[in-house]
Chains A and B, each alone.
Chain A
Amino acid sequence: MFKYLTRPLHLASRNAIRALSGNAATTASSGPLIEVNQALNGWENKLKDAGVQDTEFNIKCIVSHVLGKKFSTVPDDFAQLKFNSAQLADFERFLEARCARMPLQHIIGEWDFMDITLKTAPTVFIPRPETEEFVRLVIQQYKQEKHVNMLEVGCGSGAMSLSMLHSLPQVESTAIERSKAATALAWENAKMLGLDNRFKVFNHTMEEDKYMPDELQDKQYDLIISNPPYVKTEEFQFLHPEVVVYENLNALDGGSDGLRIARLVFELACRHLRPGGKLWLELGNEHPPLVKTIMNLKYQGRLNYVASYYDQYKRERFVELQRPEA
């Protein structure tokens, strides 16, 4: 009860502060300092009302971004942290955007994936936590190899390829990506991380009988990885606003059974894997048994089903396939 009585007061005082500091900002960039804890007031509920989950984490990410501090160095209670008026304005603008369900990773313009930090961009698919597990699994398999020539199909921001390159110096990666924005972003990330000497990315849309860009027509690889779009078309109505409104649907739409793009990747792998080479895929949780059936029925002698793996939520999600030895 008390909270409801005092809240309008807090809101009023916050608006007052904003009005004040707004004036200050025009004369000096610093202006009066506002305690972060004071600036937070009411936002947590606003976020919750907008349907945002994990609000504390969202707020902490935005606070550390606004202050230009590393996430891990910001205390959970924000003790002694202050915003100047420009920062306060940013903070409120970002939270407003978050209430409109803009993905947190787009708001702060970067995201951590395994050991690297990647720039994000609107419309480019944001890597998910489970994809970290997938990459970790693949890294485990190739740690001991002397040299790995890898192809990634649909690299998005470059998360998978670049974290592989970051962990394993013996890997060289070529990527193809259909979105121009993502192709540019992946290249930018590679340069930013200093991995551009072992990374190539081609803007290319995979089609039947034109799986690879002309330059790569006769190339073969030791390893192909992909996290192809695997959301079934009928599932689109259930997706979160962050996904439907802000992410590129081309990176998600897997057709009626979710395997439309994966099927193209199978064909590509038959042609561009060296004999004995492997294809690793991250898919949806109903897909591995389906892939096994498809392999047995349609790909005998061309591609073998080796194994499937579970993610931490105990969902069967990752698939390992192999081109038979010649």
Chain B
Amino acid sequence: MSKLDGVVNCLEQHRALQRNITSEQDLAAEKDEDMRALMREENNVYTDLLQKQEQSMLQELLTLSDDEHYPALIFEVNAGAGGQEAMLFAQELYDMYTSYFDHMGWEYEQFSYETTDIGGLRHANLLVNDADAYNWLRYEAGVHRVQRVPSTEKSGRMHTSTASITVIPRPADVQINIAEKDLKIETKRASGAGGQHVNTTDSAVRIVHLPTGLAVEAQSERSQLKNRELALRRLQAKLMQQQLESSEASKQATRKAQQGNLNRNEKIRTYNFVQDRVTDHRIQGGTLHNLSGFLEGGQQLSGLIERLQVDRRKAHLVELLETWQPPQKAADKS
């Protein structure tokens, strides 16, 4: 309830101001010309103040945070249409968002990360551990489009490619605890002496989670221990995903997340390198310049996310007001 304090204060100040305004009748009743001028002047001042007050009241209402609270979320970047170029773009998005997480001071952990040889990114999966993160990031989910002449292009044609962002909130009740005894860890070397007796380069690791039968593998590192850590993180991500999919709370949460941005399947933002601009297609005047600054994931991205936030809430509020009925009317209807 304390969250409503701001709104209530605004409303009280608003009422006080309203009382200060002299009504038309009083104005007409006043005989003295000077006095009337004074009253009008006073009224102008109050009307001004009233308007300002209304503005701040709206702001208070808009920033009134929603009831959705998730202690953490899973943030996914996937390369979309456009081959190598899409993967390069996915990597740039990944870098942008991780710098943004740093900018916001959020803790995050990388679960899986698949790169390509020329510096592109096929797929990455992060766990962002912050209660605020979901409210800020939910409008980032969707298809991001890039238009530019890719470095892989020889004839200088402009390409359009995409990458997508998915934001899955993690409800508080999902927790993954993996017990060492539930794991069967396998490497290529099945038997025979170990240690100094042999020089195997035995680095690939396969882990089976006995209670669920889930199996994960890792062989992207030369160090066996690193592969094991990688495999464990993948297992954790898989288990979490499984649990998320099964838990009712999360089904709702994911649905909500996707309703939050109905145009999920359409592009939400375009990054045009030729014109050095970023355009968010969901808000009016959503074009920003200085693309490289935007991709740094700092103040510019943060600013756009804030605007989206306010804009979405405004739309939400309008919808709420339009469908609102006085209690009596609503009661009559039913």
Real binding pair: yes
Q: Which residues of A contact B (CB under 8 A)?
A: 53-54, 57-58, 61, 69, 71-75, 80-81, 103-105, 111-115, 125-126, 128-133, 136, 227, 229-231, 235, 238-240, 242-243, 247, 251-252, 282, 284-285, 311-313, 315, 317
20 A-B contacts (beta carbon < 8 Å): A54-B201, A71-B220, A72-B220, A73-B119, A103-B199, A112-B222, A112-B223, A114-B225, A128-B195, A128-B199, A129-B203, A130-B195, A132-B225, A230-B195, A239-B197, A247-B199, A284-B195, A284-B196, A317-B194, A317-B195
The 4 closest A-B pairs by CB, nearest first: A129-B224, A132-B225, A112-B223, A112-B222
Min distance, Cβ B16 to any Cβ of chain A, angstroms: 59
- Max chain A C-beta neighbours (<10 A), residue from B200, B221, B222: B222
Q: Which of A132, A227, A284 contacts B223 (CB 8 A)?
A: A132
Is A104 in contact with B201, judged by CB distance below 8 angstroms?
Answer: yes
Report A-chain residues with C-beta under 8 Å of the C-beta of B194: 128, 130, 285, 311, 313, 315, 317
Q: Which of A58, A81, A239 contacts B201 (CB 8 A)?
A: A58
Is A114 in contact with B198, judged by CB distance below 8 angstroms?
Answer: no
Is B200 in contact with A229, judged by CB distance below 8 angstroms?
Answer: no
Is A235 in contact with B187, judged by CB distance below 8 angstroms?
Answer: no
> With A61-B201, A128-B196, A284-B195 in contact, is A81–B117 under 8 Å at CB?
yes
Report B-chain residues with C-beta under 8 Å of the C-beta of A74: 117
Is B226 in contact with A115, judged by CB distance below 8 angstroms?
Answer: yes
Report A-chain residues with C-beta under 8 Å of the C-beta of B220: 71-72
Q: Which residue from chain B places its CB closest to the CB of A247 in the assembled complex?
A: B199
Apart from the given pairs A61-B201, A114-B225, 4 other A-B contacts in the complex at a CB distance below 8 Å: A71-B221, A128-B198, A231-B197, A240-B198
Is B187 in contact with A240, judged by CB distance below 8 angstroms?
Answer: no
> With A128-B194, A128-B199, A312-B187 in contact, is A57–B117 under 8 Å at CB?
no
Min distance, Cβ B86 to any Cβ of chain A, angstroms: 15
Is A282 in contact with B195, judged by CB distance below 8 angstroms?
Answer: yes
Query: Interface readout for B281-298 with A: 1 if CB under 8 Å, 0 if not?
Result: 000000000000000000
Is B195 in contact with A54, judged by CB distance below 8 angstroms?
Answer: no
Report B-chain residues with C-beta under 8 Å of the C-beta of A58: 201
Complex CA gap A133/B223 in Å reads 11
Min distance, Cβ B103 to any Cβ of chain A, angstroms: 26
Query: Interface readout for B220-251 with A: 1 if CB under 8 Å, 0 if not?
Result: 11111110000000000000000000000000
Q: Which of A61, A75, A240, A282 contacts B117 (CB 8 A)?
A: A75
Q: Which residue from chain A places its CB closest to the CB of B225 in the assembled complex?
A: A132
Is B199 in contact with A113, judged by CB distance below 8 angstroms?
Answer: no
Q: Is there a chain A Cβ closer than 8 Å to B30's Cβ?
A: no
Report A-chain residues with C-beta under 8 Å of the C-beta of B59: none
Min distance, Cβ A183 to any Cβ of chain B, angstroms: 19
Is A72 in contact with B117, judged by CB distance below 8 angstroms?
Answer: no
Report B-chain residues with C-beta under 8 Å of the C-beta of A133: 225
Complex CA gap A105/B196 in Å reads 15
Q: Which residue from chain A places its CB closest to the CB of B185 in the assembled complex?
A: A312
Q: Is there a chain A Cβ closer than 8 Å to B216's Cβ?
A: no
Q: Which residue from chain B places its CB closest to the CB of A74 in the assembled complex?
A: B117
Report B-chain residues with C-beta under 8 Å of the C-beta of A230: 195-196
> With A128-B194, A128-B196 in contact, is A105–B201 under 8 Å at CB?
yes
Report A-chain residues with C-beta under 8 Å of the C-beta of B224: 129, 132
Report A-chain residues with C-beta under 8 Å of the C-beta of B199: 103, 105, 126, 128, 240, 242-243, 247
Complex CA gap A282/B194 in Å reads 12
Min distance, Cβ B12 to any Cβ of chain A, angstroms: 54
Complex CA gap A5/B322 in Å reads 79
Report A-chain residues with C-beta under 8 Å of the C-beta of B222: 61, 71, 111-112
Q: Which of B119, B198, B219, B226 contacts A112 (CB 8 A)?
A: B226
Q: Which residue from chain A places its CB closest to the CB of B219 in the assembled complex?
A: A57
Is B115 in contact with A72, judged by CB distance below 8 angstroms?
Answer: yes
Is A243 in contact with B198, judged by CB distance below 8 angstroms?
Answer: yes
Is A243 in contact with B219, judged by CB distance below 8 angstroms?
Answer: no
Q: Is there a chain A Cβ closer than 8 Å to B146's Cβ?
A: no
Q: Is there a chain A Cβ closer than 8 Å to B306's Cβ?
A: no
Is B116 in contact with A75, judged by CB distance below 8 angstroms?
Answer: yes
Q: Which residue from chain A places its CB closest to the CB of B198 in the assembled complex?
A: A240
Is B196 in contact with A112, judged by CB distance below 8 angstroms?
Answer: no
Complex CA gap A252/B117 in Å reads 39
> With A54-B188, A81-B117, A113-B223 in contact, is A239–B198 under 8 Å at CB?
yes
